[in-house]
Amino acid sequence: MMKRMPTDVKLLLQEGAELTDRALETLIPSIETIPASIHGAMRHSVFAGGKRLRPVLSMQAAVAIAGTLPKGIERLGAALEMLHTYSLIHDDLPALDNDDLRRGKPTCHVAFGEAIAILAGDALQTRAFEVLAGLDAPPPAVVKIIALVANAIGTVEGMIGGQVLDLESEHIKPTPELVAAIHRAKTGALIRVSVVAGGIYAGATPEDGTRLDLFGRKIGLAFQIVDDVLDMTEDSAHLGKTAGKDLAMEKATWPAVYGVEQSLRDADDLVKEALAALDPYGDRAEGLKSIARYLVERKN
């Protein structure tokens, strides 16, 4: 059982990841289920060793609101992770980023072919919404969570919109506004909604929602800035994905606009602002706060 206020963020992340993995194990059909290829492909990418950051954020947001981990919240986390994985599978396709390596393993289309990879991404999105619809929360809260999550992964300031901006920004000189818009949409929106959805699952009031949203927005941007910096400063083996890719593809990144040092300062400032938003929750938000601090200190 996850501790309410763990002092060790590594342990908190590990326990959250284990809870999430057990839920994913039961929620994604086995490779014995026909058609086997698609379930094999979904599992290949979902169980490639992600940090389960979004699920852990949803869990700790719930703890900040309810003081304890609500029953069944790991299913919300599993759905968020399926959505994240679907976006990675499609982003890695030859027609998009054309990446062969992800989390140290062959990407889905390398392992299963393009057709199955496209359908596996599709299916993870579908299954995520099915899992959300089955959440053990009052129907109005479930509907609210589905609406917010769908919005966060959509085209208007959501994940897909961010992917399109990212694609279309290759090989053009990035402006600060463009980079901020890409980050806010492409990775920021899903991280932000993970925090908010966890809160709603635990019975958050609208005021709680506003605070969690602010926290989620700040750490979402900080996370992506650090990701961009790591892509420039670490090697592929360490990251478990192709390093230096952003520079090679002339992607619009934070360090490309501001440089590495200023980027790291910006990430630090964002995390400080995020932590301040959680002041009203005192010790109950300690888990959430420790993840925010971890995001800027991590090395992969």
Per CB under 8 A, does 143 bind a second copy?
yes
User: Token pair 């005021």 is at which residue?
Assistant: 207
Per CB under 8 A, does 99 bind a second copy?
no
Taking the complex as a whole, the smallest distance from the CB of residue 167 to a second copy amounts, in Å, to 6
Give the helix/strand (H/E) hosting 22: helix 9-27
Per CB under 8 A, does 139 bind a second copy?
yes
Taking the complex as a whole, the smallest distance from the CB of residue 181 to a second copy amounts, in Å, to 8
Q: Which of 90, 184, 211, 217 binds a second copy (CB under 8 A)?
A: 90
Q: Which of 151, 233, 236, 242 binds a second copy (CB under 8 A)?
A: 151
Are 133 and 146 contacting, i.e. CB atoms less than 8 angstroms apart?
yes
Are 69 and 211 contacting, i.e. CB atoms less than 8 angstroms apart?
no
Q: Which of 45, 58, 60, 125 binds a second copy (CB under 8 A)?
A: 125
C-alpha 277/C-alpha 40 separation (Å) is 42
Are 224 and 168 contacting, i.e. CB atoms less than 8 angstroms apart?
no
Per CB under 8 A, does 183 bind a second copy?
no
Per CB under 8 A, does 287 bind a second copy?
no
Nearer to a second copy, 33 or 175 (CB): 33
x-or-dash pattern for a second copy, window 7-36, by CB under 8 A? ----------------------x---xxx-
Per CB under 8 A, does 161 bind a second copy?
yes
x-or-dash pattern for a second copy, window 38-67, by CB under 8 A? xx--x-------------------------
Taking the complex as a whole, the smallest distance from the CB of residue 143 to a second copy amounts, in Å, to 5
DSSP state at residue 106: E
- Beta bridge pairs of residue 102: 105
Per CB under 8 A, does 95 bind a second copy?
yes
Q: Is the peptide bond before 35 cis (omega within 30 degrees of 0)?
A: yes
Per CB under 8 A, does 133 bind a second copy?
yes
C-alpha 12/C-alpha 167 separation (Å) is 35
From residue 152, alpha-carbon distances to 189, 263, 268, 271 in Å are: 5, 25, 24, 21
Per CB under 8 A, does 140 bind a second copy?
yes
C-alpha 214/C-alpha 100 separation (Å) is 35
